[in-house]
Structure 1
Amino acid sequence: MPEIIDDKSQHCVPFILERLRLYREQYESRHQTPPPFFLGLNGVQGAGKTTLVQTLSQTLSSPPHNLPVVVLSIDDLYLPHDQQTALATSHPDNPLVQHRGVPSTHDVETGIQLFDALQNRKTDIRIPSYDKSQFNGAGDRKPEGEWETVNKAGEKPVEVIIFEGWCVGFRALSEADVEKKWKEAREQAEKNDGSYMGRLGKLKLQDVLFINERLREYDALTDRFGAFMHM
């Protein structure tokens, strides 16, 4: 695999700082204390998300900014193994949910509780962590004792939350739009001339609609973002 070089943070940091300034001014103009700032970041696998968020976290938490930062990955919100197995079993004909990956295979409720705790500056917040190597690669959530703890007593509470993942920020479409895109893909797939390389046209409409509907639940996380970056 070629080395991933960070050539993005020099552009991202000024953007984040400007959005953070505007965000705080909205509250300070009303003589209110600004809540922590949520930043969403997405990009396809291999785009360099991990490298970028590590650099952003290090830069923002160092002088002259000195902002307490925590990085969250949507991967760490995957359903525990038993819940993922139950999801797959309850929808045996839907290939999209037989393994972790797409929307519906994340524990959104745990994500909401985590976001709430960070937004309200609760103390001793545990950050979920996921081990993809468990169950022969099927994955499972790590025991809570292995989770990172933030906002410990005596520490400055987290002020910037960077939430990254390939589907972070995705929004559901209307059923009509999903069906339209599915029909177009289906027509391409049925030509059988070898030109269709996608997957949508090979799936059943009801399976795609199921994922789209579950994606609406993720709005409770996406709506918290004070800024969003797409790689």
Structure 2
Amino acid sequence: MTSKIIDDKSVHCIPFISEHLSKQRRKCLDKGEQPLPCFLELNGVQGAGKTTLTSRSPPRSLPTTILSIDDLYPTHTAQVALAQSRPDNPLIQHRGEPSTHGLGLGASVFAALKARQPGDRAHESEEVNKPGEPTIDVVVFEGWCVGFRPLSDAEVEKKWTEAREEKLWETQLAKHRLRDLLFVNDALEGYSSLHAFINIDAEDTKDVYEWRLEQEAALRASKGTGMTDEQVINFVNGYYPAYELYTATLRQGIFDSGGLGRQLRLIVDRGRRVKSVERA
């Protein structure tokens, strides 16, 4: 049975967003500059409730745009070319992992939003800051891998070696070659950080499997179509090595000492309810 997603997160996130928007405005005004939008990263494992949160959390009195990592996928032709360039790397044979996004498009959209100029998202029909409309004050960039930061090659190898030596075959990390993991890790260098970060974290990251199984079961029941349980497991397996590599850094805090207070972490239980809240 699908567990109901309860919005008990907005009560924590709205004040956090408002706080950082105010700080951003004061910082610009103190310099005699036009206030910039507040750029917020939102990370959450698949099924944790990001969609519900983004539909309610930004202060709705403020012009807000939600940009998903899914908006930055390249064309099918470009994805096929990437996959064929490394046909033996299973991590990039489908969209999703770092390296499979159109970072040039993302950079142009963020630059336009920062300059409060018109800019396109994935399609021309999704233009932002259009003439005659209020310019955007809050930009929420959400996705399952948003906020991931690259590790050193030595750190990746250490995690991979430990997984293999301890025979953690129930995980996915040990099942991949080191060079394939390093390729994805290197790609993260092109993913820049923003003003503030919200992380919807699961008490047990493996809950992502059950949450995705629930979602697909609901789709099959309501629409008669959806992935089978086996397909869901294989699908999540493709993403899971990244959770194993980068979740620890998310939990420790993605900003350096100068960024204290810029990260909000909501820890949710199996039922997606907030169990605790941390600031970093």
- Do the aligned residues in 1 keep the contact of 2:21 with 2:37 (CA within 8 Å)? no
- Do the aligned residues in 1 keep the contact of 2:24 with 2:36 (CA within 8 Å)? no
Instruction: Tell me which moved more, 3-12 or 40-49.
Output: 3-12
**Which TM-score applies when normalising by structure 2?**
0.69
State how 1:1-231 maps to structure 2 within 5 Å.
Answer: 1-57=2-58, 60-61=59-60, 66-123=61-118, 125-128=119-122, 144-145=123-124, 147-189=125-167, 196-219=169-192, 222=193, 225-231=194-200
Which amino acid is the alignment partner of residue 111 of structure 2? D
Equivalents in 1 of 2:120, 2:27: separation in Å? 29
Which amino acid is the alignment partner of residue 197 of structure 2? F
Structure with greater contact order relative to length (CA < 8 Å, sep ≥ 6) = 1
**Which TM-score applies when normalising by structure 1?**
0.83
- Do the aligned residues in 2 keep the contact of 1:97 with 1:105 (CA within 8 Å)? yes
Equivalents in 1 of 2:176, 2:130: separation in Å? 47
Unaligned 5+ segments in structure 2 are: 201-280
Which amino acid is the alignment partner of residue 202 of structure 1? K
Count of residue correspondences = 199
Match of 1:131 in 2: none
Q: Measure how far apart 1:150 and its partner are.
A: 2.2
Q: Measure how far apart 1:126 and its partner are.
A: 2.2
Equivalents in 1 of 2:195, 2:190: separation in Å? 19
Equivalents in 2 of 1:159, 1:20: separation in Å? 8
Equivalents in 2 of 1:228, 1:70: separation in Å? 16
Q: Measure how far apart 1:2 and its partner are.
A: 2.2
Give 3-state SS (helix, strand or coil) of 1:45's partner. coil
Shift >6 Å, 4+ stretches: none
Equivalents in 2 of 1:150, 1:112: separation in Å? 14
Give 3-state SS (helix, strand or coil) of 1:71's partner. strand
Unaligned 5+ segments in structure 1 are: 129-143, 190-194
- Do the aligned residues in 2 keep the contact of 1:188 with 1:201 (CA within 8 Å)? no
- Do the aligned residues in 1 keep the contact of 2:29 with 2:35 (CA within 8 Å)? yes
Equivalents in 2 of 1:28, 1:188: separation in Å? 54
Equivalents in 2 of 1:7, 1:166: separation in Å? 20
Which amino acid is the alignment partner of residue 91 of structure 2? L
Q: Measure how far apart 1:52 and its partner are.
A: 0.1
- Do the aligned residues in 1 keep the contact of 2:169 with 2:175 (CA within 8 Å)? no
Q: Measure how far apart 1:172 and its partner are.
A: 0.2
Cα distance per residue 1:37-59 (max 9 Å; x no partner): 101000000000000011014xx
Identity of aligned residues (%): 51
Q: Measure how far apart 1:188 and its partner are.
A: 2.5
